[in-house]
Structure formats: structure tokens, C-alpha cells
Amino acid sequence: MAENFDIRIAYGLTEAEAAKLLKEVGYNELPSAKPRSAFAIAFEVVKEPMFLLLVAGGLVYFLLGDLQEALILMGSVLIVMGITFYQERKTERALEALRDLSSPRALVIRDGEQRRIAGRDVVPGDLIVLAEGDRVPADAVLLSCTNLSADESLLTGESVSVRKICSETDSPVMARPGGDDLPFIYSGSLVVQGQGAAVVRATGINTEIGKIGRALQQVKSEETALQKETNLLVRNLALLGLGLCLLVVVAYGLTRGDWLQGILAGITTAMAVLPEEFPVVLTVFLALGAWRISQNNVLTRRVPAVETLGSATVLCTDKTGTLTLNRMKVKKIFANGESVELDDGRDNLPEAIHEVVEFSILASQMDPFDPMEKAFKKLGEDYLAKTEHIHRDWELVREYPLSKKLLAMSRVWRSSSGNEFVIAAKGAPEAIAELCHIDPDRQKELSNNIQTMANEGMRVLGVAKASFQKIDLPDGQHDFEFEFLGLIGMEDPVRPGVPEAIKECYSAGIRVVMITGDYPGTAQAIARQIGLPTDKVITGPELAILSDQELQEKVRDICIFSRVVPEQKLRLVSALKANGEVVAMTGDGVNDAPALKAADIGIAMGGRGTDVARESSSLVLLDDDFSSIVKAIKSGRRIFDNIKKAMAYILAIHVPIAGISLIPVLLGWPLIFFPVHVVLLELIIDPACSIAFEAEPEEADVMDRPPRDPNAPLFSSHALGLSLLQGLSVLVIVMAVFTVSLYRGQGEAEARALTYTTLIFANLGLILANRSWTRTILETMSTPNPALWWVVGGALVFLAMAIYVPFLRELFSFAYLHFIDIAICFTAGIGSILWFEALKIFNGRNRDSDTLG
């Protein structure tokens, strides 16, 4: 090490120098994006057509004096504004999480003394001291280190820690994270073994983690297709309602000369046509859907993602910690000429491999932090705890760290008898073979076994032992006479349930793509275990030279991307989206955050995931169980199906309501509807569309059909036509009842009561018919939905009260109806939707899917 390095280690910066640098470069944290004020966010929310319509509906109710309905609508505005405000704050929270992660406490040397300071106060040029378990506070160059390894999986996605060396020059150029034998450490990474001292090169936004923060800040969330289409539909219907309202006012005023009654009729028409249920349906369905999904340990952070789940076509998943458990496990041991496969069901270990396990533990820390050393210790505790191979009473005398020239480390122990030293060595198989001076024939056998293990995705280590009688220990490991003991193959195990979950994804038409920072062999080995195609792999360097167009072509059929760096994950998600895919992306590391935010559905791991990943995602798996994603997708598909059913019903029922409000005005007949009649109808319609349809269970085939086309409209022309035809058929029947009763001289009040009762029965018929567009009402009766029967029962009770309670009968301008009148209304109302039931039978009762066209 150069002499000036020694001086730096001894003294570091002075406090005056550090204060000056802190003033020049700023704190070691990511800058806060200037948050918008609550007023600015609220203004952006209320200028949307959907929310303007809710406000307008509330004002109409205020003008009518119906304070309850007005408050309900205004309350809906506040709820939706709150949800949107929550979404807008996500970027700020993600950046705050990055700041927290990138600013741990730091041990620095200033004025020649060690002192613990806040990570945000670290400046370039600071000398930081690191030990096992420390979080690195800034990007730095190692000036000295002993057996130092760091876990950089948050930045690279690599499942194993990387070995570090000290810098041989005063001012090396910082390289990208990842790979062994680099003298650089990075902010946010974790020291898993050894200790060292380093000089800080970059802080805050200039670190590798800061670059991710900049990318995250630039990614914008997009509206879902359903949100865009619903906004357009609501706007068009609002304009139609406004036009009809003006038409009714003008027509009534000109033909009858009563402009005040004309305004009242116009308001009634507006109330009948204004589709305030559409935003209510979206809000209620998605909010309740988020609650239902939470029962499966999936937390919803961005509510529209609940609906988008149903259209996901590609699921991009990280390997480390997502498909795997992110902890090392001994899988295979080669010793004494034989390979032993280890599994969880084994009762004991063969005697031939006891010594390999024994010395792998002796070559490790007694209380290890490194994942591999933890795996050795666990293996010993599970199988050798009560044998002579565990030496808790031995004394550690010396440690020989690994170096760039010899990728092996040794630990020297004095036995309890004190008669001799025992040396345990572990490291790269080639280095251990070199220490043991293995002959060429045995070296060839070892190479074959090493290659076999590596092809199975294992990380392979060699283990050796030696003994020493002299008191003075040698300076290097080569001075011992080592005996080769064996090879240990380790893997990061696949999470339980992942293969089954991926199989279900494929049956649902969802392609699974693995994006990892690990090597191709490791990625392919995991892919084979979980059922992904392994014939094609693209590495990060290969991806880097592809143009955007070439990448879009490649991502159509390749399922494994290895050695990928953070910016490339974001690029892959963008390429898939450019191909028209609806992308769900899982991840748990800082390196996943931009891709999680850019994806249509970002899914973070809640247990092992970082705050940054969770804050950038749409969904969080609270139990880190990959199979929970499948349950969430299933719920998403059910929710979208039910949204379509509810909206089809809303369109259908508004046709007769609008027609009944408009036709009498244009033909000079007595008015059928007053505002109070529409209010009562809304008491039925609102719970029907927002509660009864939301509670509909999923169809049996919901996970056996392909994802819906993300470019397909909410309603196809076929579905829209059928919805309108349902409404027209009800309108024809209801107007026929009114016309016949009016011209038979039964009186205006009785005609109104008959017409309204018929509409209520027809309305209930529409609710039952729209539960399924392929199964008849009788067939759907076997599908439980308690909320539906509360709605039906409540509607009938309200109707009976309006007809038979004198005060209410007078309020509604009804006449008393007899049993025969009710029977006629029931027959007419149900008869209005019989043609739709006949159409279902004609199209086939046993159709595989239950969609709306």
C-alpha cells in the first residue's frame, strides 16, 4: 500500500475540511422532489370529467333539497380525491425510502480519531471504517481490507456476496458494482465478512444508488386503459344528459308555457341520465377488491392495479429472493470419490462426508454473517451436533485471508489438548487443489465434478485440512501440507410453491420472464426447477448492444435474462410494453425500483424487500409467497368481469329511466317521473351495481382463459348493443303499461303506480339477468351471493311501502294497487328480459367462458 494511503488511514479529513466539503457538495442523501401542495393535487383531481360529474350530481341534489344524496356524492368526491392524493405521494415516499437506505450511520476517521456520525454527513474524501454487518454509507475505494466480502444484491441482483480487494493505486476509476476482486464498495451494500477502510468517492445523487433514484424520479405512472375508457364514457354520457336536460326544459316550456315545471322536468331527466354510478362502481369495486386481495397477503398500494391484474400478459420476476429463498443451502458434497446429494428428508450424513462438513465449519466464522458460512454451520448443527466433529472448545490462533493471487482462506486452531495446530481451508476449488498439490489425474476427476455442480447452478467450494507441530506459524498458506477433503456445492433454494404457481400462470396465458443479475448457468438451473424454458438466454452484455427494435423482437420469446444491470431491467419492461404486453414485475431490491414503477403492475416482496421496492410498487406480497401473485391475478380477473357486468346493467337501466323522463314531455303526456321517483330508483341501482355485482364469485374458468386484450374496449359493439337492447325492451314494455293504463281511464296516479312497479320488477330482472351473459337466471341461482338477495329484498320492501303506506303513496303520487295489478306488473317486468334469457339458451348453456363479448 502506498505511503500516502497509510497517512490517510491514520488521520482522515479534518472536521474543518469535512464541513467545507459538506457545504460544497451537500448532504449524503437523495434530494427531495419538490412536493406539490394539497391544493394543486386537489385541483388536478377535480378537473377530471369523472369527478366533475360527481360534483355536478351533488349540486343537483342540493338544488332539489335532497341533502342526504348530495352529501353522499360529495363524500364520494372526497374519498376519490384522497385515494388520488395517496397515489401522487408515492414518488416522494419512494425517494424518501431511498434516502433512508442510503444514509445509515457511519464510522469515520477525522482528525486522526474514529467517530460515529450520521450517514448524511459523510463527504467525498472521508475515510470510513467498515466491519462485518455494516451498511456501506457511500461509494468508496478500499485502501485496506482483510477478507472483506459485500452483499451487493440490492444493486446487482446477484445472490452471493462478492469478494473485495484493496486498491493498488491512489485514484482508481470507479467501476460498476458486481463481480469479485474489485476495490470498490457501494452505498447501500452490506459487509458480510471481514473488515476494511475506504476513502469515499461519491455521495448522495452521485452514487450508484443515487443513479437509480434519478431513474425512478423520471418514471411516470400511467392511467389504466379502464380508467381512460371510463372517463371517456362518463364524459360522453354527461354531455348527452346535459343535452337532453336542455331539450326537456325547452320543449316543456314552449309546449306548455310552464318554465318552472320545465326546469323540474329537465332536472329529473338529468338525474335519470347522469351516470354517477360509473365512478362509484370503479371506486367501490377497486377498493373492495384491494381489501379482498389483502386477505391473501397482498397489499394494494395503487388501487387501479387491482383491475389491471386481470389483463397481465407477462410476469417479469427477479430470481434472488423472489423465485428463491435468498439464503444458501448445501446441496451436494463430493468426497472420497463419491457424490452425496443432500435433501431435507435425510436422517443422517454418510460417514464419508463428515470430515468435509467439519472442516468447512472450522474454516468459517464461529458466528457467521456470510450466507455460505451460515449454511455450513446449519448443516453441522442439524447432523453433527452430538458428534466429535464439532469443536466448540478449540481456540482460534490465526487466520490467513484470501487474496487475489490465492482465492482461499485458512483458519488455524489449537485443539483442546494443545498438542498441535489444526488448519482448515476453504475457497475456490482450483485454489484448494493448488494448496494440496493434487496430481493431474485426480485434478481431472475434480474438474469433472466441479463442472457438473456448476452446470446445476451451484456455487462450488473446496475444503482441505492440515496439521502443524511447530510453535511459530508460517507466513503463508502454501507452507502447510494440506490434504484435500472434498467439494461442497451450494444453491439458493427455490421457494416452495413456485413451480405450481408458474404452471398456473401459463395455464392462464401469462408468460413468466426471469430477469436476474446471476450467471446464465445459475439462472438456467433455477429455470429448470420451476418449469421455465431454458433453451434461450440473453446476458446483460448481449442486451447492451441490441437496439430498441432488436430488443423488442428478442423479448417476444425469451424467458431468461441473466447478468442484467438495473438500467437494463427498466429497458426490458419498456420493450415488453412497447410490444403491447401488460407487464407485471416482481422484485425486492433497490435495483428493481425503476422497473417496478414503470411496469403496469409492480409487485414488491414485503418480507425481504426494501422500502424502495415497496414504495415504488403497485402491490406488495406481505408473505413473499410467489403463489400469492396467482391468487391476486385471479381476483383481478374476477373484479374486471364484475365491473363489466355492473356497467352493462347501468347502461341498460338508464335507457328506460331516461326514456320515461323524456317521452311524456315530447308527446304532451302527464309526467311519469318526479325527482323523488328517480331517488328511489337510485336506492336500488346504487347498491345493485356497487355491492351485489361486486360480491359475485369468480367464474370456474377464470384462470383457464387467456388475459383480456388490453387494447379491447370495455364494451365491444356486440356487448354495447345487447346492453342497449335490454334497456330498450324494458322501455317498450313499461311505456306500453303506462299507455294502456292511461288510455283505459284508470287515472294518472294509478297509471304512474303501475308503470313504476313494472319498472321496479324489470330492474330486478335486469340485475338477475346480468349476473351472467351465458347462464340463465335459473342456472345462476345456485351461485351464492347474499348481497344480491339483500338488494332484491330491499327493493321489494321499498316498493311495497311506496304503494301501501298512505304518506309515501301520496309523496310518490301513486294510487293503491291490488294483487291483480301487482301480478300484471310482475309479468310485464319479467317478460321484458325473457328474450335475453332465450338468447343465452340459443347461444349454448355450456360455453366455457362467462364474458360480456
Residue positions annotated with a catalytic role: 318
Sheet holding 408-414, edge to edge: 338-341, 329-335, 483-491, 459-468, 421-427, 408-414, 395-400
Query: Could you please report the per-residue DSSP string of 651-667?
Result: HHHHHHHHHHHHHHHHH
CB atoms within 10 A of CB 422: 18
The Cα–Cα gap between 57 and 278 comes to 12
C-alpha cell of 140?
Answer: 468508496
User: Are 188 and 138 spatial neighbours (Cβ–Cβ below 8 Å)?
Assistant: no
* β-bridge partners, 117: 106
Sheet holding 314-317, edge to edge: 298-300, 619-621, 601-605, 583-587, 314-317, 511-515, 560-562, 537-539
* β-bridge partners, 191: 150
User: Are 497 and 625 spatial neighbours (Cβ–Cβ below 8 Å)?
Assistant: yes
How far the first Cα of the chain sits from its last, in Å, is 74
The Cα–Cα gap between 548 and 573 comes to 12
Closest to 486 (Cα-Cα) out of 348, 381, 360, 389: 360
User: Are 235 and 635 spatial neighbours (Cβ–Cβ below 8 Å)?
Assistant: no
Question: What is residue 78's three-state secondary structure?
Answer: helix
Query: Could you please report the per-residue DSSP string of 803-834?
Result: HHSHHHHHHTT-----HHHHHHHHHHHHHTTH
User: Are 656 and 271 spatial neighbours (Cβ–Cβ below 8 Å)?
Assistant: no
38 alpha-carbon distance from chain centroid: 27
- Tell me phi and psi for residue 330, to 5 degrees: -70, 120
* β-bridge partners, 656: none
In the chain, the largest separation of any two C-alpha atoms, in whole Å, equals 124
User: Which DSSP symbol is given to 180?
Assistant: S
The Cα–Cα gap between 218 and 570 comes to 12
The Cα–Cα gap between 852 and 391 comes to 70
C-alpha cell of 522?
Answer: 445459475
